[in-house]
Amino acid sequence: MPLDDKVAAAKHIDALLKRLIPAGGFQLKWRITVDPAVPENSPERPAILVELGGPDSPAVLAQNAELLRSFETVALKSLRLESEEHDLVIFDCRNYRSGRLEELTQAAGHAAERVRRTGQPYSFSPMSARERRIVHLALKAHGDLFTQSEGEGMRRYVVVSLKEEESRGNSAR
């Protein structure tokens, strides 16, 4: 189901959660918003926001919100979204996503400062594609820096380096 009908997609996610949440015995409620308001500075423009809440919220957010991301993955896959459409549906719980956005933006700023000071490339910890994108976008405005993702699959991470360092790398010094 490509996301041309947001309301149908929202209903699909609601029906899915109505089956999964009780079957798993999770004490969670959810609210689904189509075309949610997003903060001005957010690089993400989701078409559908699914907010989970309730007594099991701490479990949802444990280990870097692994359970939150797992629910999101199952929902995205069941909607048959192409990977470039994955940003259209976002799961959140207790504003975890906006907190991460702030953390990652700050971390990107610190990394930029450090790379300029030391001249050495800086590698972030491995992150999801969604989080790597936030880091890339946060550093895009820094014209003297260069970012790229390295590593495979779950171990993929962002590397920041000086642009001139990139070109110098090939010449023998």
Partner 1 sequence: MANEQGGDMRLLVEEIAKALVDEPEQVQVSAVDGEQTTVLELRVAPNDLGKVIGKQGRTARSIRTILGAASMKLKKRYTLEILE
Work out whether 116 is an interface residue with partner 1 (CB under 8 A). Answer: no
| C-alpha span between 58 and 47 (Å, rounded) | 26
Nearer to partner 1, 55 or 119 (CB): 55
| C-alpha span between 141 and 145 (Å, rounded) | 9
| C-alpha span between 42 and 39 (Å, rounded) | 5
* Three-class DSSP category at 59: helix
Nearer to partner 1, 18 or 168 (CB): 18
For residue 61, the 8-state DSSP code is H
Work out whether 73 is an interface residue with partner 1 (CB under 8 A). Answer: yes
Beta bridge partners of 48: 34, 89
CB of 146 to partner 1, least distance (A): 26
Binders of partner 1 among residues 53 to 72 (CB under 8 A) are: 59, 66-67, 69-71
Query: Within 10 Å of residue 81's Cβ, how many Cβ atoms?
Result: 18
**How many Cα atoms are found within 13 Å in the side-chain-facing hemisphere of 29?**
5
Site map (CB under 8 A) of partner 1, residues 9-28, x = contact: -------x--xx-xxxxx--
Q: Binding partner 1 by CB under 8 A: which of 74, 107, 137, 159?
A: 74
Work out whether 153 is an interface residue with partner 1 (CB under 8 A). Answer: yes
Q: Which residues bind partner 1 (CB under 8 A)?
A: 16, 19-20, 22-26, 59, 66-67, 69-71, 73-74, 77-78, 152-154
